[in-house]
Amino acid sequence: MPCSAVTLSLATITAIVAVALLAIAFSTDNWLYIDVKRSKIQTYAQRSGHDSLKSSIDSKYIYFTRTKGLFRICYPKERPAKVPLYLSPVETHCMNIDYFIPDVDNQTKQFSEDAMTRLHMGRSMIALFILAFFTVFIAFWTGVAGCWRRSPGNITATAILMLFSCLLTAGGMGLWHGVEYYEKEKVIGEEFYQQWDNVLRDNTDITYDWSYIIAWIGVGWALVSAIMFSAAAICLRNEREKEEAMNMQYMMPVHPQKQQYAYGYSYAYPGPYYHGSQYGPYNY
């Protein structure tokens, strides 16, 4: 089996896997799992007589176990009664993360510098993921053309586009970590970690969930796909050079030497005959 057929098959499979993983991660809401131990907080509030904490436990969403994605915050267990929620496509009660696009009421005008930095990083993160998917869409057509025409140039372009998509998604992941850092360490607000009650902090576990994990795996597979497409382009180029060299051997004409013609015709060409010569046709 030719080298190009094997590498093209592997490159196509890895590209499909990468796009599928990134699409699943982008559209699901399990990047962070925030496990709130409500029973312990309620027990503490009852024992201490902390009235404001008692009211907050049932009204504020930060006191409920939740998952967080790129677009939604969802509640797989109990859900806050006073927060407007809707059913997501996977039948989970969720609320949207607001990126203020567009900012109709100019609400961001009152944001602090750290809050605006977080917001810009969040917007840029979404933009990078969308641009990465658009790049993969273009790579699909260049890959189809390259396989159909067996063109090393088209396959090389596909490899470059897949590498570009890998870098874009990796950049989006980096910005996601930047948003996470600002929400936990920089931004001041009731819903952010810096202003959480100490009881809430002590009884909350924040872990990375499966959507985050498969997003990084998808970035890795995108890089592998770019490498495999590059290898396929090299194989196609080498195979084409070998085919051209073989065709040149068949097409090259064989020219006999002039000396061969001279010997071949020397015996047939009638030389000059003289009267009385022993070689002439007439001897008297």
> For 128-148, how does the pLDDT look when each residue is reduced to its tens digit (9 = 90+)?
999 999 999 999 999 998 888
Q: How confident is the model at residue 284 (pLDDT cuts 50, 70, 90)?
A: very low
Classify residue 27: in a domain, yes or no. yes
Residue 275 lies in a domain: no
- 172-218 pLDDT per residue, tens: 999 999 999 999 998 988 888 988 988 999 999 999 999 999 999 99
282: in domain: no
Number of domains in the chain: 1
Query: In CATH, what number is assigned to the domain containing residue 61?
Result: 1.20.140.150
139 lies in a domain?
yes
Residue 24, domain extent: 3-103+112-240
Q: What is the pLDDT of residues 1-41, one digit of tens each?
A: 566 678 888 999 999 999 999 999 999 999 999 999 999 99
Q: Is residue 283 part of a domain?
A: no
Residue 266: pLDDT band with limits 50, 70, 90 = very low
DSSP secondary structure string, 115-167?
Answer: HHHHHHHHHHHHHHHHHHHHHHHHHHHHHHHHHHHT-HHHHHHHHHHHHHHHH
Q: What angle (nearest 5°) sits at the alpha carbon of residue 120, between those of residues 19 and 190?
A: 110
Confidence band for 223, pLDDT divided at 50, 70 and 90? very high
- Can you spell out the DSSP letters for 50-102? -HHHHHHHHH-GGGS-EEE-SSEEEESS---TTS--EE-TTS-EEEEPP--SS
Residue 274 domain flag: no
248 assigned to some structural domain:
no
Confidence (pTM): 0.81
